[in-house]
A and B are shown apart, each in its own frame.
Chain A
Amino acid sequence: MDNLKEDLKKQIIEQLNLEEVTPADIADDTLLFNDEGLGLDSIDALELIVLLEKYHGIQVTKPEEGKEAFKSINTMAEFIRNRKG
């Protein structure tokens, strides 16, 4: 099991107050912003930027940077690993 991905799921649930969701409900490739997936919205995207800074020390200065990165848990983990080099 990929620890970063599991951590991300917990962090997303906490940061976005997704009370009725558990980490097991989020697959690594679940589309975060799709209504068939997690159904997040534009404000959630901004909270994900806060999350990246708070838990991973990564600063995103333009919301557009997040667009690709926030597609799924897989892309978020990849984004974090790339940024941390």
Chain B
Amino acid sequence: MSFITAYCHLNQEYCAVNGGIISRRDKQAQDPWFKQIYKEQEFAYPKFHKMDTLAQAGFLGSELIKRAAPALLTDYNDDEVALIFANSASSADTDLRFIRSYEQNGSPSPSLFVYTLPNIVLGELAILNKWYGENMFAVLPKFVPDFFLNYTQILLSGGSKAALCGWLEILGDRIDAFLFLIEKEASHAMEFSRENLESLIATGPVTQ
């Protein structure tokens, strides 16, 4: 058995951790939405500003989960945290920007090109946390609980002891991110089951 020990919702309107909203988008704000959260939460990782939107969403979600579940940083060896992510649009948001760089802006941009793969966000999380564990990025038509259940089961029965999972869908104004941490051992935590995962996705956060 394994458990959902922390989770984070991030969409166009709000960002929530373990069901509680921690930030609401200020549509009047000058800063882009992800930067707004970054500032509010007082993160200090200048590389954030160079990341594409997919990596920024992954950064925010995983940092917030780390705050909610600090054991993630202390209880595991550097190769025991697996990263299992998926979405349906792949890296299309950045792909479109890269296409614009050579079709309209004069030359293909190398710093955009390196983000035109969906798994780059996993690399960013690995670099930031010095995680040398297993990585998996799948492109699925929609959020499929079974993919996460099956692949987590596979990796947790191998060498991994925890899995940071995420659905990271970013395309233009469409922002739909849901990150969750799965651990083998936990007390007072929700069992990692299809029902629980589906209900977390469906109900969203409790407004505070």
Any A–B CB pair closer than 8 Å: yes
How far apart sit A11 and B109, CA to CA, in the bound complex (Å)?
15
Main secondary structure of the interface of B (DSSP, over half): helix
B135 → chain A closest CB, angstroms: 20
How far apart sit A47 and B46, CA to CA, in the bound complex (Å)?
17
Q: Is A20 within 8 A of B49, CB to CB?
A: yes
Q: Is B111 within 8 A of A44, CB to CB?
A: yes
A47 → chain B closest CB, angstroms: 5
Q: Determine which of B49, B106, B111 lies in contact with A46 in the assembled complex, contact meaning CB atoms within 8 Å.
A: B111
A17 contacts B by Cβ under 8 Å? yes
How far apart sit A18 and B110, CA to CA, in the bound complex (Å)?
16
A residues 14-54 near B (Cβ < 8 Å) are: 16-21, 43-44, 46-47, 50, 53-54
Residue of B at shortest CB range from A18?
Answer: B49
B93 → chain A closest CB, angstroms: 15
Q: Is A43 within 8 A of B114, CB to CB?
A: yes
Instruction: Count residues of chain B with CB under 8 A from any CB of chain A.
Output: 10
Q: Is B109 within 8 A of A50, CB to CB?
A: yes
In the bound complex, residues from chain B placing their C-beta under 8 Å from that of A50 are 107, 109-110
Q: Is B106 within 8 A of A53, CB to CB?
A: yes
Residue of B at shortest CB range from A47?
Answer: B111
How far apart sit A20 and B31, CA to CA, in the bound complex (Å)?
13
Instruction: Type the 1/0 row for B97-111, where 1 means its CB is closer than 8 Å to any CB of A.
Output: 000000000110111
B149 → chain A closest CB, angstroms: 36
How far apart sit A19 and B50, CA to CA, in the bound complex (Å)?
8
How far apart sit A17 and B56, CA to CA, in the bound complex (Å)?
13
Residue of A at shortest CB range from B109?
Answer: A50
How far apart sit A18 and B51, CA to CA, in the bound complex (Å)?
11
Q: Is A43 within 8 A of B110, CB to CB?
A: yes
In the bound complex, residues from chain A placing their C-beta under 8 Å from that of B35 are 19
In the bound complex, residues from chain A placing their C-beta under 8 Å from that of B50 are 16-18
A-B contact pairs, 29 of them (CB 8 A): A16-B50, A16-B111, A17-B49, A17-B50, A17-B111, A18-B46, A18-B49, A18-B50, A19-B35, A19-B46, A19-B49, A20-B49, A21-B46, A43-B110, A43-B111, A43-B114, A44-B111, A46-B110, A46-B111, A47-B109, A47-B110, A47-B111, A50-B107, A50-B109, A50-B110, A53-B106, A53-B107, A54-B106, A54-B107
Using a CB–CB cutoff of 8 Å, the interface residues on chain B facing chain A are 35, 46, 49-50, 106-107, 109-111, 114
